[in-house]
Structure 1
Amino acid sequence: MEKIYNKWGLGMIMLLIFLLSACSSRFQNETIIISAGNETMEQEQHDLNPVQVKKIYRLPDDNIDKGYWWGWTSSNSIVGTFKKAGFPDQTLLKQIVYPYEQSKILSEVKMDNTQMMLSPNGSQIADMGITRTAATLELFSLKDKRKTEVDTFSMKSEKYFQNMSWSDNSQFISYLILDTAAAKGSILRIYDTSSNSAQSYTLNDFNNGDTLLEVKVSNDVQSALVKLYDSTGKATIVLGRLADGNFESKYRRQIADHQMVWIGNDQFAFLGRDGSLYEYDQRNGELSIVLERVAAFEFSPDKRFIAYKRQDEDIVYVGKMQGRNVLYNEPVYHGILPLNMKWSPDNTSLFLQGPKIYANPNFEPNDDSVEEPAFIIEFE
């Protein structure tokens, strides 16, 4: 009988130890799950509504007549060029700052208004001065209002200048010098503002039927994008590597007639003919769809946000980028076709300019009589 009680007592002790152990383990697991759940919830709440409109400013109408706002010089200042009243051959450089009520004239610039390009960091304006025998790259400093000639090349024979653009890091200026007599004689020229030197690359991989239009170089100057019309008249984008003084084509695709944007040194985005916004990665040749039914788009300087308009809609959306996905698309403005969209350097404001869609449903971009109001949308 005593042995039976001993066995029973031993069994009860072992059962009690097992239950206590199980409870302890269960409580620890629940603590981990709750902790993880709270972190996920906090992250979701942080990401929910990444942008919220705080205030919308309409720029004075007299500042957008016969002119164009080039972009931001700081987080609360934009600049643009405008024709001087009564003097159509003279150009005024204007600036408007927060609270965006009245612009002021910075300078009268003797530069070609159609060729001028503001650097992404808002510090300099590039322009190309052209004569019958030479072309000269000029830089205008917004800080000291001085113009400097930095690069000159011959324009003799059948050559002519075509397009100019800044790299996203504001270090390099790229432009095309095309040869009408022989396509193989065309070159891509890149000026480095840090070293004050220029490098030329021959464009051997293009056909005589190709009409080269635009070029944009990557921040590491290892690759460049060239936009052209092919022999059938369709817009095409060509990715090329820059090596040993040559542009070597690596990828070619027909696109919609819109902008091309570097996402990094190896990835770029463009609008396809089907209205999809694509991203191409040259490291693995992967082509991905970012958005569908897109009519216009603009990435923030750090590529973390995107502003865009969908086809057949009069709404400008803003979304947050996560990889190749766009999260939490928020409508921020209704009623205009945003032909000009630019993010502030700190991503806190978005400049919009374009015709009122509802006022003129038959709008054509070349119609100079159409009003194009400009707005600055400030976010929380």
Structure 2
Amino acid sequence: MSHSTFRLIVVFVLLSFLIAGCTNELKPKTVIIPDTEESSEPDGVNEEFAVNKIYTLADPGDGNGDILGWIDQKQVIGLYGNDQSRSFERVDYKYNSHQEIKAVKSSKQMAKLAPDGMHIAYFENKEITNQLKLLDLANSKEIVIQDNVVGPYLLNALTWSNNSQYVTNAVENEKVKDGSFIAYDILHNSSNQYQVPGWNFREMSFGVKISDDGKSAMIIKVADGQYKLIYGELKGSGFVSIFEQPINVDGTYDYINDNQIIFVSAGGALSIYDRRNTTITNLLEHINAFQLSKDRKYIAYSKDQEEIFVAKLQGNNIINEKSIYKGLIPFHMQWSPDNKKILLSGRKPYASEAAPVPAASREPAVAAPAQITTIDNLPFIIEFK
């Protein structure tokens, strides 16, 4: 036997022992790869949205404050002052401390905060006409986005798209039968005006909600005392209806995405319309008003007038409903950017009722219901654990 042959035999024997040893240790294992990425979110909101504390936002002045919404996770912004002098102010909700951002000269103000908390659109009164302005909260600079606004325009609501790119305001022209609205694109510093057939001045006060892609819009029409939500496409300089639905005008309406809208029907059903397959899905009954979180994953809503719930919006389903507050008819609901707080304002159902209180949770909430009822409509913030 040659030396090289002997080496090959030794190597073969060693490999045989190694393979035999590994075979005894290896065990079969099945690996399952999910079709979709696993969610890092909790299974339900019942654990996530237990009420922790409630903070009231007392007005430091004469009670003429107007909270506009969240600018970050810790601060809201409001418009404060009196008929002679008003200012936009940051408010730290935990300490109710105020910091002035910009003084404004208007005695009567209509202002709307962008959903991302970065800009405010508002009218400013002038001696003869008015201006629609845009305030950049990062540097307190403002630009005029519409000049020579005639007085009646101030009755109409300003409305932002959910991505904070478009702000719209309705306009009236006595020479033209149909109403119209102007959509200002802050990203491209441009604006477009759209005519809406059969839309009158009375209906304009409800404003116009435009989609994030700027290709569709929702408006309100009134016929025989019934309010209708009109959802349509923006083509050229016109609005073309594609869907009409009687609604509860107090119930809010919104986009889930560019192809789906959500609204409260005249009968109190929280419903989704999908333009891709022209279907309506009813999610809940006996709903009065609702508000989606900024990421469209969660929803807050009032049911049977005076009880407020939160839940998770998953596809065409509402899951893990949780009651968080009782004894309030909300006028305004808004989620914080981190979904850990909700800004609320409203009124008690009846003056003789007891003070509103947080809904029961596994641990008692730290609240101040006596302060909440000192002034009707006083805004407050529910903070979750």
Same fold (TM over 0.5): yes
1:134-158, Cα deviation, whole Å (9 max, x unpaired): 65320122222222212336759x9
Question: Residue 265 of structure 1 aligns to which amino acid in structure 2?
Answer: D
Give the direction of change, closer, same or farther, for the CA distance of 1:300–1:160 in structure 2 (3 Å limit).
Answer: closer
Equivalent residue for 2:315, pick from 323, 331, 334: 323
**Matches of 1:196 and 1:44, distance apart in 2:** 37
Corresponding position of 1:251: 243
Q: How many Å apart are 1:353 and its aligned residue? A: 1.6
1:97 to 92, 100, 113: 92
| Structure 2 counterpart of 1:212, from 200, 204, 209 | 204
SS of structure 2 residue aligned to 1:206: coil
1:229 aligns to 2:222 (yes or no): yes
> How many pairs does the alignment contain?
332
> Aligned partner of 2:85: which letter?
Q
2:368 matches 1:345: no
Q: Is the 8 A contact 2:116 2:163 kept in 1?
A: yes
Cα distance in 1 for residues equivalent to 2:41 and 2:76? 34
SS in 1 for 2:76: strand
- Note the 1:64-213 alignment, pairs <5 A: 65-84=63-82, 88-111=83-106, 113-129=108-124, 136-152=131-147, 155=150, 162-184=156-178, 186-203=179-196, 205-206=197-198, 211-213=203-205
8 Å CA contact 1:111, 1:127 repeated in 2: no
CA drift of 1:370 comes to: 5.4
Query: How big is each residue's C-alpha offset from its partner over 1:8-34, in whole Å with a ceiling of 9 and x where there is no partner?
Result: xxxxxxxxxxxxxxxxxxx98xx979x
CA distance in 1, matches of 2:188, 2:334: 28
The answer as to whether partners of 2:153 and 2:170 remain within 8 angstroms in 1 is no
Q: In the alignment, what sits opposite 1:52?
A: 49
Mapped to 2, the partners of 1:188 and 1:43 lie a distance apart of: 42
Partner of 1:8: none
Higher relative contact order (CA 8 A, sep 6+): 2
Q: What CA deviation, in whole Å up to 9, does each residue of 1:240-286 have, x standing for no partner?
A: 10112211111122211122211111111111111111111122211
Q: Describe the superposition over 1:99-128 as per-residue Cα deviations: whole angstroms up to 9, x where unpaired.
A: 234333333222465421111111111013
- What TM-score, normalized by structure 1, do the two folds share? 0.77
Change (3 A) 1:339 1:293: same
Aligned-pair distance for 1:201? 1.6
Question: Conserved in 1, the CA contact under 8 Å of 2:57 and 2:93?
Answer: no
Identity %: 25
Q: Label 1:220 to 1:328 Cα distance change in 2 as closer, same or farther (>3 A).
A: same
Mapped pair 1:267 → 2:272: no
Q: What is the alpha-carbon distance in structure 1 between the residues aligned to residue 84 and residue 200 of structure 2?
A: 36
Q: 1:210-242: per-residue Cα shift (whole Å, max 9, x none)?
A: 733321100000001111322x13211111101
**TM-score (norm. length: structure 2):** 0.76
Displacement after TM superposition at 1:187 (Å): 2.2
Instruction: Give 1:346 deviation, angstroms.
Output: 1.6
Report the 3-state secondary structure (helix = DSSP H, G, I; strand = E; otherwise coil) of the residue aligned with 1:49.
helix
Structure 1 residue 45 displacement after superposition: 7.3
